[in-house]
Structure 1
Amino acid sequence: MTQTALAGAATDSTDAHGAAPARPARTRPAAKPHGQWKIDGTAPLNANEAWKQDDGGLSVRERIEKVYSKEGFDSIEGTDLHGRFRWWGLYTQRKQGIDGGKTATLEPHELEDKYFMLRVRIDGGALSTEQLRVIGEISTEFGRDSADLTDRQNVQLHWVRVEDVPVIWNRLEAAGLSTTEACGDVPRVILGSPVAGIAKDEIIDPTPLIHELSRRFIGDPELANLPRKYKTAITGHPSQDVVHEINDFALVGVVHPELGAGYDLWVGGGLSTNPRLAERLGVFVAPEIAAEVWLGVTSIFRDYGYRRMRTKARLKFLLNDWGTAKFRQILEDEYLGHKLPDGDAAPKPTSPGDHIGVHEQKDGKFFIGVAPTVGRVSGTILTQLADTLEAHGSYRLRTTPHQKLVVLDVPKEQVEPLIVAMDALGLSARPSLFRRSTIACTGIEYCKLAIVNTKDTAKHAIAELERRLADLVDSGELTQPIALNINGCPNSCARIQTADIGLKGMMLPTDDGGTAPGFQVHLGGGLATDNRAEAGLGRTIRGLKVTAADLPDYVERVIRVYIAHRESSETFAEFAHRADEGLLQ
């Protein structure tokens, strides 16, 4: 395995390629098939694959509209509720009052409430103020005023009843939005540069490509039964602002010396419990064939992806076994029918990719990146923001892969008045280093998989760090954000392995024999979008765990240790990988 290979992973094919046994009587059994359609056939090898083939996820919409919304939650059939609903952006949310220690011991039906998380799909993160207003109004009317900005450029609502889903769909679709394939074993939301088409230093505008992919392939039954989820990221901005290294398919803007502007292709990234960074295939993708290349890679995943075990059913496992040379050959020979030109990597970013602050657009207007606290907003705030933007001459905005918002097309004379107005809504264009760089997943508040509270823990930590470390900021000793990513379980929705300080939720033993919510600590991860010289996964320190209550103490301590012991212009991530374990405790 390479340096970026799956942490702790062992492939199913290991036993199939060992040496011949010395004694025939102990011949090992034949390796089990991976469930690759092009090799093993399409007969389903587990119950999940069986129901997907029997009745695909897209089909459940009709039942939601005609049956479940009329007969209520208790009428929902089991594989629809826990499977096909996801194809339309719906997950049951966690029942209130169940502590994290019971997450692993209770059955799914004991953890879930009769309400849903609804994920609004926003390809490229692009919204008009009218679309934002529609989402806000849906939240206040049907979702108890809940709304979270995710690090996948979606907006998630909570407390949604199945009875209300059809009218919610109608309102979203009338505004040009949808929840189609926002979850499930499908092509998920397409991440796109939040400054696509407006940035002065943009290499190539990916907007037409994102629109083409969404129009042609989202909701297509031919691609609606993938082995598992499939994530896409596309940017033409030199900051590489779409966390491309942790997506299944990613295109990064680059200028070829003979062929002009196009894309560098990356495949096979993903985190969760077996993190792996994507790898370059070493090809140049011209914009006119980019959609076909996406279809080719996606079809490889459909046809060759591992389906027998869902824990191995991501593209990263296939790439790990094949390697980039074979993957490129299969793509070119079997799916494209032609060779792709070789291409060089894009230059390393020299600016952060979160786009916080005020920046001039290529048309002379300005875009403003603002930070809520760890993505937590509300329907009321979203509606008020739509009104506020329009009052200051802006009618477009973007969500980002960092739980932030970027407001577009602001006239120069409206920049400062708009900053003041957005700050009153809890959206800061000049956030503290800690508010700017902290993200958190949904956590135990709504998620059935979560073990700890994340949003409130993060909010408290930010406030404490702003107070405790003000001396380092004021003195100029601490000038760069240190990313703090807080996740409620091991699945890494908040990208814990790619943060300066990544925190994986767990229950920790206490001195009195009980347990308390806490975190395993990952240190020194980062991606190109974080203005890192090299993307890399964080390190874990044996035994390094911290309770939620002690989190501000630990972060303050390790940041002060970094300031005291860093070498020259050494970043926190570089220090964290170099330092002795004792310094990082």
Structure 2
Amino acid sequence: MTSAAEGRVPGSRATQPRDEGQWAKGSRTPLNANERMKKDEDPLRVRERIEHVYARTGFAGIDPDDLRGRFRWWGLYTQRRPGIDGGRTAVLPPEELDDEYFMLRVRIDGGQLDLQQLRTVAELSKAFARDTADLTDRQNIQFHWVRIEDMPEIWRRLEAVGLSTTEACGDCPRVVLGSPVAGVSRDEVLDPTPAIRSIVDSYVGDPTLSNLPRKFKSVISWLPDVPYETNDIAFLGATHPELGPGFDLWVGGGLSTAPRLADRVGAWVPLAEVPETWLAVTRLFRDYGYRRLRNRARLKHLVGDWGVQRFREVLEQEYLGRALVDGPAPQLPGTPIDHIGVHRQKDDLYYVGAAPVVGRLSGTRLAALADLMEAHKTNRIRLTPYQKLLVLDVAEPDRLVRDLHGLGLEAHPSPWRRNTMACTGIEFCKLAIVETKQRAAQLIEELERRLPDAPVDMSIHVNGCPNACARTQVADIGLKGQLVTDASGRQTEGFQVHLGGGLALAQGQSSEFGRKPRGLKTPAAELPTFVEDLVRRYLTDRKDESESFAQWTARDLDR
């Protein structure tokens, strides 16, 4: 049988190994335009041109390889030109889709911000981003409407308070996700923050890691309050029966158009060895990752082809030079953790988790939030991988809950607001086909009106294209943007529906990708009615109150 890494030689029946562009096998010839761009120059070096050339010449002077390639290594993507409908997303050339403004992604590793950093983000939003600031499901903050002329000053202000856009995008180590309650949770046994800081300080911006085959997403958390199974590498808290608390290693997760859940390597890693192990996996990916086709270049494809046992052997023998310690699987909590509401910290202060609407905020509201934090004498805020935020070290949580409500930040939100996420969508994204943020906000509003007391706890993830930035495949209801035909036969914005997805974040849960029932689509204008009908059907048909939406979906679709 021909493996995924083999191909036929034209004119021959014999199979020969296909060149996948793996550096470890001596393949250094770039096999696509992205690889040529990275070989021509380390993308990290483009910052010099941004500061000294493009900030003076403006948008018109930017080299295309920098604009649509190397800029990503500094968190910059061109925005979608306003007025271009979704039907033209994959048709128009990039230069026609590009606006002369940028999305800028600020990396917030571990989701950790202090008051000064929050104020700086708010000030930059108001001064340079038309008051935009979105919380992402990767614990980043995204600005829009950024001009290239303003980037030197934006970097100066961010870096003055310890923030960065370095490798916030690109084929490199992206932001490291972490528990938003690291260091304060009563349920946390071991705080991984030192490992996250060590990795970021030592390896973000390292030119030996700035040319990976594709993006590389990481998680380091004691608690399973992060989507660890959908990342390239994850370290999740686990206690070894003899060696004590440490971290269980997972590799090979990722979503998009070829979703795959991460595999347990079966190795227990002590906290002090997490950075070294992370580096070894990253280097293995750099050297053995596929570079021929972009859609096969994520680590998940290598792990899928090799199997986790071979992956561990290569990791140990070629990159660590020692055997890893076998270890147990993590112990999951009784119920999923999302931190919304009021919770006691281990020091007997409180943290308060609040939900904006699908992560959409503004510099003005962030500045007001900073004023609230100062009034409550707290200096720390955390962002979650679910587009929510937490204020830590609160002495009077009930008063803060009331104050947050005044900013439109709900510590006691409806289940619809609590569990709905949305990607950037066609408003700014050049890959999107449909609008997402406003559609999701309208959906929440309608469900709160139509189903105010529905006894449900289900997730709704809204995505503007197949790339799953909002983790469409692992939601109870995943909505993938596409053009659909409405009742009158016209093409219009709509969604393909995924049902019953989820991750194993608590005992008794299993990780499943949502099913795509044939032909199950809805025009965007009919989305509230579609979801309402689906929820009412679930509440009527479920066996009892213990049957989850995912369980009901699986049973219903198997009939």
- How high is the TM-score relative to the length of structure 1? 0.93
Identity %: 56
Aligned residue number for residue 36 of structure 2: 50
Inter-partner Cα distance in structure 2 for 1:567 and 1:344: 35
Q: Give the 3-state SS of the residue equivalent to 2:377 in structure 1.
A: coil
Counterparts of residues 419-498 of structure 1 (less than 5 Å) = 419-472=401-454, 478=455, 480-498=456-474
2:21–2:290 Cα contact (<8 Å) kept: yes
TM-superposed deviation, 1:380:
0.4
Aligned residue number for residue 89 of structure 2: 103
2:7–2:18 Cα contact (<8 Å) kept: no
Matching of residue 278 in structure 1 with residue 270 in structure 2: no
Of the candidates 155, 166, 179, which is equivalent to residue 180 of structure 1? 166
Of the candidates 524, 531, 556, which is equivalent to residue 548 of structure 1? 524
Aligned residue number for residue 570 of structure 1: 547
Inter-partner Cα distance in structure 1 for 2:322 and 2:27: 26
Inter-partner Cα distance in structure 2 for 1:403 and 1:531: 24
Matching of residue 340 in structure 1 with residue 332 in structure 2: no
1:348–1:533 Cα contact (<8 Å) kept: no
Which amino acid is 1:525 matched to? Answer: G
TM-superposed deviation, 1:512:
3.9
Inter-partner Cα distance in structure 1 for 2:378 and 2:554: 44
Inter-partner Cα distance in structure 1 for 2:106 and 2:498: 31
Q: Give the 3-state SS of the residue equivalent to 1:550 in structure 2.
A: helix
TM-superposed deviation, 1:328:
0.6
Counterparts of residues 143-542 of structure 1 (less than 5 Å) = 143-237=129-223, 240-411=224-395, 414-472=396-454, 478=455, 480-529=456-505, 533-542=509-518
TM-superposed deviation, 1:41:
2.5
Inter-partner Cα distance in structure 2 for 1:165 and 1:79: 18
Q: Give the 3-state SS of the residue equivalent to 1:528 in structure 2.
A: coil
Q: CA 1:471 to 1:403, structure 2 compared with 1: closer, same or farther past 3 Å? A: closer
TM-superposed deviation, 1:538:
0.7
Inter-partner Cα distance in structure 1 for 2:323 and 2:12: 46
Inter-partner Cα distance in structure 1 for 2:434 and 2:441: 14
Q: Give the 3-state SS of the residue equivalent to 2:403 in structure 1.
A: helix
Q: Give the 3-state SS of the residue equivalent to 2:525 in structure 1.
A: coil
Matching of residue 118 in structure 1 with residue 101 in structure 2: no
Q: Give the 3-state SS of the residue equivalent to 2:517 in structure 1.
A: strand
Comparing 421-430 and 345-354, the one that deviates more: 345-354
Inter-partner Cα distance in structure 1 for 2:220 and 2:548: 27
TM-superposed deviation, 1:14:
5.1
- The unaligned stretches of length 5 or more in structure 2 are none
Inter-partner Cα distance in structure 2 for 1:350 and 1:93: 42
Inter-partner Cα distance in structure 1 for 2:78 and 2:540: 47
TM-superposed deviation, 1:11:
6.5
Aligned residue number for residue 475 of structure 1: none
Root mean square deviation of aligned Cα = 1.6
TM-superposed deviation, 1:448:
0.4
Q: Give the 3-state SS of the residue equivalent to 1:261 in structure 2.
A: strand
Inter-partner Cα distance in structure 1 for 2:179 and 2:282: 21
Which amino acid is 2:350 matched to? Answer: F
Q: CA 1:553 to 1:285, structure 2 compared with 1: closer, same or farther past 3 Å? A: same
Q: CA 1:151 to 1:77, structure 2 compared with 1: closer, same or farther past 3 Å? A: same
CA deviation string 1:357-396 (max 9, x = no partner)? 1100000000111000000000101111011111012110
Aligned residues: 557
Q: Give the 3-state SS of the residue equivalent to 2:496 in structure 1.
A: strand
Inter-partner Cα distance in structure 2 for 1:310 and 1:523: 28
TM-superposed deviation, 1:530:
7.1
Which amino acid is 2:405 matched to? Answer: D
Comparing 151-160 and 280-289, the one that deviates more: 280-289
Inter-partner Cα distance in structure 1 for 2:317 and 2:410: 50
TM-superposed deviation, 1:532:
6.3
Inter-partner Cα distance in structure 2 for 1:532 and 1:60: 48
1:35–1:44 Cα contact (<8 Å) kept: yes
Comparing 395-404 and 560-569, the one that deviates more: 560-569
Which amino acid is 1:357 matched to? Answer: G
Which amino acid is 1:453 matched to? Answer: E
Aligned residue number for residue 6 of structure 1: none
TM-superposed deviation, 1:531:
7.2
1:82–1:91 Cα contact (<8 Å) kept: yes
CA deviation string 1:8-34 (max 9, x = no partner)? xx9742546xxxx9xx97525634300
Aligned residue number for residue 25 of structure 2: 39
Which amino acid is 1:330 matched to? Answer: V
